[in-house]
């Protein structure tokens, strides 16, 4: 565990951490109800008065969703 500087340059590290902690998070798929609840809660935890915080939150969520698409595609190729 380490401090996070809360900048966009570190989003890939957050994505990597998200998938390393695999059993603790729902898979980021649009049709997964548990993930949609996670997504809503994650965004709600960010201060709404800070556009930068919301931008980073949205970028992180898009990044984990994109990574999940890649992982799912690899599984279907096998």
pLDDT tens profile 2-19: 777 888 899 999 999 899
| 2 is a domain residue | no
The pLDDT assigned to 25 comes to: 84
Query: What does the pLDDT average to over 37-42?
Result: 94
| 63 is a domain residue | yes
Kindly tell me if the per-residue pLDDT of 50 is higher than 90. no
| 17 is a domain residue | yes
The pLDDT assigned to 70 comes to: 95
Residue 60 burial (CB count, 10 A): 20
Give the separation between CA 32 and CA 27, rounded to whole angstroms: 7
| 1 is a domain residue | no
**3-class state of residue 25 by DSSP:** coil
What is the span of the domain harbouring residue 52? Answer: 8-77
The pLDDT assigned to 77 comes to: 77
The pLDDT assigned to 78 comes to: 62
E strand intervals along 1-78: none
pTM: 0.85
Please count the structural domains in the chain.
1
| 3 is a domain residue | no
Measured on CA atoms in the order 62, 64, 65, 70, is the torsion positive or negative? positive
| 51 is a domain residue | yes
Give the separation between CA 17 and CA 37, rounded to whole angstroms: 19
């Amino acid at each position: 565990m380490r401090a996070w500087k809360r900048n966009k340059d570190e989003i890939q590290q957050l994505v990597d951490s998200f998938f390393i902690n695999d059993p603790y998070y729902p898979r980021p798929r649009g049709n997964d109800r548990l993930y949609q609840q996670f997504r809503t809660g994650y965004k709600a935890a960010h201060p709404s008065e800070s556009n930068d915080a919301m931008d980073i939150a949205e970028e992180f969520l898009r990044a984990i969703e994109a990574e999940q698409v890649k992982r799912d595609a690899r599984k279907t190729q096998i």
